[in-house]
């Protein structure tokens, strides 16, 4: 690689105070020459020198004259000269003000970028004052790993389900190991790079993204991050949709499955098939969450996959199935290994096993009961 002073190598322009003067290398009569290239009074001016040092000196003199407003290099009208001088004075600052060490063109570019981003919704000054206000209080410092342990401890004390706690451990503990730095230093780019590097399918990455978003909001509530901090801003949203054919149960298949089911697993089948709750959500239900008189199932936020409470209406056929099974309290589904019991019931029907068929059946036939 040639250095700048090697024959034929490109010479960096001289830049100062937002002004650029170019120096070109050439050859004349067998000797190396350097040309200082700039404009004077709207016309191009070329100054030849036998050495690079002389050329640089001429370039710096030209910049000095432009900065001082001398007409030998730059011919400004009176109004333009006043604007130039005033702009330079603003950047230099008055008594007690910090000097801004930027060229006028660079300062204008930054201001223009801010105005374009804001689009008239606020002024740069208003945004700066708001940012300073939000960051005026020194926030407590904590690393990601320590914050994860604190979240797990508090959420467990708050009665989060065992499944939810497993989710925190599975998603956030590796996150804390990979990005074990103070939480206020985490950026959306770090999050995007972390999720992108996970060796999981898109659906699993989406679940990790959701949990990290919950962690972000929890940190704001705990005062570890300033309000408005969004780790997921601009971070890719992964699809949770499973590719492949949606499998549903026919009315006859549903009848056979209900008939073959053990009473301990029957609530899971009918709630999944006739109310559309997810398998894990049904496992977390208590009988107190089911109001047979009003006809609603309450899915608490702690039990919902989305972390949001919702009330699910029950159709008459679902209420008819649940009334003989209902108890004053306790778990709706009492078997530990629900998947095993469900597969056992499906096997006894002689039908082909279908993954997630209960929820898909409800969604596909929600306009009317199946039985």
DSSP one-letter string for 176-189: HHHT-SBGGG--HH
How far apart are the C-alpha atoms of 167 and 201, rounded to whole Å? 16
Collect all residues with Cβ–Cβ distance below 8 Å to 353 and sequence separation of at least 6: 343, 346, 347
Burial label, 330 (beta-carbon count in 10 A; 0-12, 13-18, 19+): exposed
Q: Is the Cβ–Cβ distance between 63 and 17 less than 8 Å?
A: yes
Distances (CA, A) of 225 to 72, 177, 232: 56, 19, 14
Say yes or no: do domains 144-221 and 251-364 share a fold. no
- In the sheet that holds 14-16, the strands lie side by side as 14-16, 19-28, 31-40, 43-49
Q: What is the pLDDT of residues 330-361, one digit of tens each?
A: 999 887 766 666 666 555 555 555 556 777 77
Instruction: Classify domain 144-221 by CATH number.
Output: 1.10.150
What kind and span of H or E run contains 251? helix 251-260
pLDDT bin (cut points 50, 70, 90) of residue 198 is very high
> Residue 33 forms beta bridges with which residues?
26
**Backbone phi and psi for residue 132, each to the nearest 5 degrees, phi listed first:** -65, -35
Q: Find the helix or strand (DSSP H, E) in which 343 lies.
A: helix 338-349
b/e per residue 243-253 (b: at least 16 CB within 10 A): eeeeebbeeeb
The pLDDT score that the predictor gives to residue 321 is 92
Distance (Å, whole) CA 211 – CA 169:
10
Per-residue confidence band for 17, with pLDDT thresholds at 50, 70 and 90: confident
Residue with tokens 């660079």: 106
CATH number of 251-364: 1.10.443.10
pLDDT band at 71 (very low <50, low <70, confident <90, very high): very low
Domains of the chain, by residue range, sit at 14-68, 78-134, 144-221, 251-364
241-290 pLDDT, tens per residue? 655 555 677 788 888 888 887 788 889 888 988 888 888 888 899 999 99
pTM tops 0.85: no
Write the DSSP string, 184-242: GG--HHHHHHHHHH--S-HHHHHHHHHHHHHHHHHHHHTTSS-TT--TTTTPPPPP-PP
| Residue 73 pLDDT greater than 50, yes or no | no
Q: Residue 219 class from Cβ within 10 Å (0-12 exposed, 13-18 middle, 19+ buried)?
A: buried
Mean pLDDT of 306-321: 89
């Amino acid at each position: 690689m040639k250095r700048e002073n090697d024959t034929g190598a490109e010479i960096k322009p001289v830049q100062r105070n937002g002004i650029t003067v170019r120096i070109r290398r050439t050859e004349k009569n067998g000797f190396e020459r350097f040309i200082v290239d700039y404009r004077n009074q709207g016309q191009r001016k070329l100054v030849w020198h036998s050495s690079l040092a002389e050329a640089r000196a001429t370039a710096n003199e030209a910049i000095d004259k432009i900065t001082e407003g001398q007409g030998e290099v730059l011919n400004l009208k009176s109004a333009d000269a006043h604007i130039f001088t005033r702009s330079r004075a603003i950047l230099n600052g008055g008594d007690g003000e910090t000097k801004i060490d930027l060229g006028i063109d660079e300062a204008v570019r930054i201001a223009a970028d801010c105005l374009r981003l804001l689009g008239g919704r606020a002024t740069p000054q208003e945004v700066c004052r708001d940012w300073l206000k939000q960051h005026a209080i020194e926030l407590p410092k904590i690393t990601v790993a320590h914050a994860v342990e604190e979240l797990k401890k508090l959420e467990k004390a708050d009665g989060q389900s065992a499944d939810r706690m497993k989710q925190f451990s599975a998603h956030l503990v590796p996150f804390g190991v990979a990005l074990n730095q103070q939480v206020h230093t985490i950026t959306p780019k770090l999050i995007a790079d972390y999720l992108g590097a996970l060796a999981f399918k898109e659906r699993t990455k989406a679940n990790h993204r959701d949990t990290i978003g919950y962690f972000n909001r929890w940190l704001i509530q705990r005062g570890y991050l300033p309000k408005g901090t969004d780790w997921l801003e601009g971070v890719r949203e992964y699809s949770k949709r499973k590719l492949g054919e949606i499998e549903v149960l026919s009315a006859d298949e549903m009848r056979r499955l209900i008939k073959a089911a053990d009473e301990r697993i029957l609530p899971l089948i009918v709630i999944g098939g006739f109310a559309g709750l997810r398998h894990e959500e049904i496992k977390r239900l208590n009988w107190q969450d089911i109001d047979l008189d009003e006809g609603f199932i309450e899915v608490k936020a702690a039990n919902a996959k989305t972390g949001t409470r919702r009330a699910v209406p029950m159709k008459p056929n679902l209420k008819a199935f649940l009334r003989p099974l209902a108890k004053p309290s306790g778990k709706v589904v009492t078997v530990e290994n629900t998947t095993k019991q469900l597969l056992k019931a499906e096997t006894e029907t002689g039908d082909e096993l279908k993954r997630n068929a209960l929820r898909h059946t409800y969604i596909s036939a929600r306009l009317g009961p199946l039985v």
